[in-house]
A = this chain, B = another copy of it.
Amino acid sequence: MTTRGRVDPRRLAREIAFEQTVELPSGAFPIELEERVVGRVEEVQRRAPSLYRAVVSYPLAAVERELPQILNLLFGNVSMLSGIRIVGIDWPESLLRTFRGPGHGIEGLRRLAMADRRRPLLCAAIKPVGLSATDLARQCATLALAGVDIVKDDHGLANQQSAPFRERVVRCQEAVLAANRRSGRNCLYFPNLTCGLGELQSRIYLVNSLDIRGVVVSPLLVGLDTVRWIGETTDLVLFSHPALSGVFFQPGHGIAPEILYGQIFRLIGSDGVIFPNTGGRFPVDSQTCNAIQRELRRPLGHLAPAWPVPGGGIDAAKIGHWIDKYGPDTVFLLGSTLHARDDLLLAAEEVVRAVRRRAL
């Protein structure tokens, strides 16, 4: 982690190590616990004026294996301090082993999409909220016929009366399957599963009964552990949406995007992680995007690599540039720049052609 500000960095690191475990000052508990459960400051390095990098290690005895307690140990109480940022986690193998991680990963989703290794995947969002299920299903058909690999619900499509979950999912899947029969392709439809906990089981049941292979989830809206649970109890491909995640990324305090998206979202089983791409609607720099994609794909214990899914305003006209930047193991998520065009089919066909041309 890094610490920032005028406090004594060694003292702050030690306070963090105590706050995140015993929540008591030294002396207020049996001395033998200090060795057994208290965090240990391994290193404090000055990186810049008022900026320090500290390494704190925690005994597994304090962590245990459930995700909520891992999150708590990582940033629970210290989230309420300031100037502390998690910039790296060295996961012990035994802790990683308690998570399944991505159920399909890069290889698995490629097989489902029947896309060869030389090209990235294209995902397009159906939107906006307010359209009827019929209108949204029509968009699905258009995008599938154009050759898009994955058509996904906009993450704001929940269970609104304009297109209730059941009706929308039935119609959209039907539309995509019909388009596939016409095109001979294999477009996948991923509905948005972000919903109340009481509805979750019945929605998963519906999704499975329609032979839908994946879903969009928003880990910070439904709970990170709820997504882990969906991943570990179903065979669905999980695309995680970053809604609400921005609160972690304020300057100097929080969890670095490459750690939250690249490690934690992957740990909970995301096969693809949607993140705001640089140059789009959200203020993200290129270096951060590179770090996110690196983290998602790098070896991490037994966890399968996951797809970076840059989105949030990718300009379809510049898809070649983004392919050069991110490479073939990427899902490009297109939304607003397709829908802003008069002819959705034409717009989608253009970008599909551009992607396949690059792959030759």
Contacts and interface: CB of A to CB of B under 8 A. Distances in A.
A243 interface: yes
Contact of A197 (B30, B62, B225): B225
A246 B80 contact: yes
Chain A, interface size category, equals 35 or more
A257 to B, nearest CB: 9
A94 to B, nearest CB: 13
Q: Which of A67, A127, A226 has the most CB of B within 10 A?
A: A226
B79 A246 contact: yes
Given A72-B244, A198-B229, A154 B221 contact: no
A205 interface: no
A25 interface: yes
B72 A194 contact: yes
A76 B218 CA distance: 9
B64 A160 contact: yes
A245 B80 contact: yes
Q: Which of A73, A197, A248, A283 has the most CB of B within 10 A?
A: A197
B128 A21 contact: yes
Contacts of A246: 78-82, 253
Interface string A241-283: 0111111111001110000000000000000000010000111
Contacts of A196: 66-68, 225, 228-229
B226 A159 contact: no
Nearest to A34: B130
A335 interface: yes
A162 interface: yes
Interface in A72-95: 72-73, 75-82
B33 A128 contact: yes
Contact of A339 (B24, B77, B276): B24
Contacts of A25: 336, 340
A107 interface: no
Interface string A143-157: 000000000001110
A159 B250 contact: no
A76 B255 CA distance: 17
B339 A130 contact: no
Interface in A16-75: 19-25, 27-30, 33, 36-37, 61-69, 71-73, 75
A204 interface: no
Contacts of A29: 127-128, 130-131, 339
A208 interface: no
Contact of A225 (B19, B20, B222, B232): B222
Interface of A: 19-25, 27-30, 33, 36-37, 61-69, 71-73, 75-82, 127-131, 154-156, 158-162, 194-199, 218, 221-226, 228-229, 232-233, 242-250, 253-255, 276, 281-284, 312, 335-336, 339-340
